[in-house]
Amino acid sequence: MVRLRRGTVGVRFTLLYTVVFLLSGIGLLGLTLVLASGTVSSTSPVGTPPAQDGLTTAEQHIRLLEDQLASVHEQQSRQLLAGSVVALTVMAIVSLLLGRALAARVLRPLRLITDATRRISADDLDRRLSVDGPADEVKDLADTIDDLLERLEASFTAQRRFVANASHELRTPLATIRASLDVAVAKPHPAAATVTLADRVRTQLDRVEHLLDGFLVLARAQHGVLADTTLVDLADCVGAALRERADDLVTKGLRVTVDVPPGTVVRGSPTLLARLVDNVVDNAVAHNENGGWIEVTGARGAEEAVLVVETGGQVLDQREVDRLAQPFERLGVERTGSSGLGLSIVAAVAAAHDGRLTLLARADGGLRVSIVLPGAKVPVTA
């Protein structure tokens, strides 16, 4: 029998059926008791009255018969009441079991619809419930969900097509502008103003391309497209990210401590996971104070892999820190030079890998970024 969870519609249906059944049984037993109370069972008097005439003898005989009838009637009432209690108890148990079975039977189509809908994700919106049966409320619900899935599929397809087309359409004019700048600067004896303007435009072009790249990565992570999954060692990703920012670390005088043991392996997209680690390290470097510190630690548990990046600095408001996982959210005016997509990309990539991102403002200043991802078993090589 299908188990009914506490607090669900099934439990309410069970209680409703039980109460209705019990009320009907109580009404029926009450009517029986009322009818039985008006009946008198006939019985033979105990012993034979003395054969004598007279009013006194007749009255005594009548009282004797009345006492016998009252005693028999009281005994029958007690038996009927006891039987009614037993019958009511049995009816309560039977009604509870019957109500539970009926509730499970009635709600079974809804459970099937719920399970099928839960298995449908953004990657298989082409699936449909396709519930067969009579044209009742359950089939109407299933058909409505199928229509919703069809609209969602069309919307997701259009969004992905737009992201892909926009990336190509935007990169083409950016490349053209960059090439025009290179041609202008490459001319013999370019004007100083031209060189200065070219440098400024190149800087802005780099920011636009970085922003565009962030949009594409964020869209890909949010859609959960993980076609290139393989084993990825987070220790290697951390090492590569720190090497890319070696010059910035030296320039700002940052002290870096790394304790990510080799074999901190997860399964996922190498491109997205590398970007996840890259963004976390970049955030720690770019938004750190001169002469500050960065501490990167990792751990591999039985089922999870954890990567933690901590930095020092000023004391932050936890309510503002919680907003950093949203796109275009920054802390303070010193962060206006960033795109505001760094940690939102980290959150999206972690979610796409069934992981989570936690941001914590440290009590003595700075930020603690914690990423938890499902661990993966490393195959043993002979």
DSSP, residue by residue, 138-165: HHHHHHHHHHHHHHHHHHHHHHHHHHHH
| CATH number of the structural domain spanning residue 323 | 3.30.565.10
Say if residue 274 is in the same domain as residue 177.
no
Specify whether 97 is located in the same domain as 192. Answer: no
99 and 190 fall within a common domain: no
**How many domains does the chain contain in total?**
3
> Which tokens go with 125?
């919106």
Residue ranges in the chain whose pLDDT is less than 50:
1-6, 40-48, 51-52, 333-337, 380-382
- Two tokens at 50? 């003395």
Task: Determine, yes or no, domain membership for 100.
Answer: yes
Residue 132: inside a domain: no
Residue 169 domain-assigned (yes or no): yes
If asked whether residues 251 and 363 sit together in one domain, one would say yes
pTM of the predicted structure, to 2 decimals:
0.55
CATH number of the CATH domain containing 206 = 1.10.287.130
**Within this chain, do residues 186 and 263 fall inside the same structural domain, yes or no?**
no
pLDDT for 372 equals 93
Instruction: Write down which residue in 201, 222, 243 finishes a domain.
Output: 222
Radius of gyration of the chain from its Cα atoms, rounded to whole angstroms: 40
Q: Which run of H or of E encompasses 237?
A: helix 234-244
What is the pLDDT, as a whole number, of residue 332? 56
Look up residue 320 and give its DSSP letter: H
Domain that holds residue 216: 137-222
Question: Does residue 250 lie in a domain region?
Answer: yes
Taking only the tens place, the pLDDT of each residue in 50-98 is: 544 567 887 777 888 877 777 877 777 777 777 777 877 887 788 788 8
Spatial contact of 254 and 285, defined as CB atoms under 8 Å apart: yes
> For the segment 332-358, what is each residue's pLDDT rounded down to a tens digit?
544 444 556 778 888 888 888 889 999
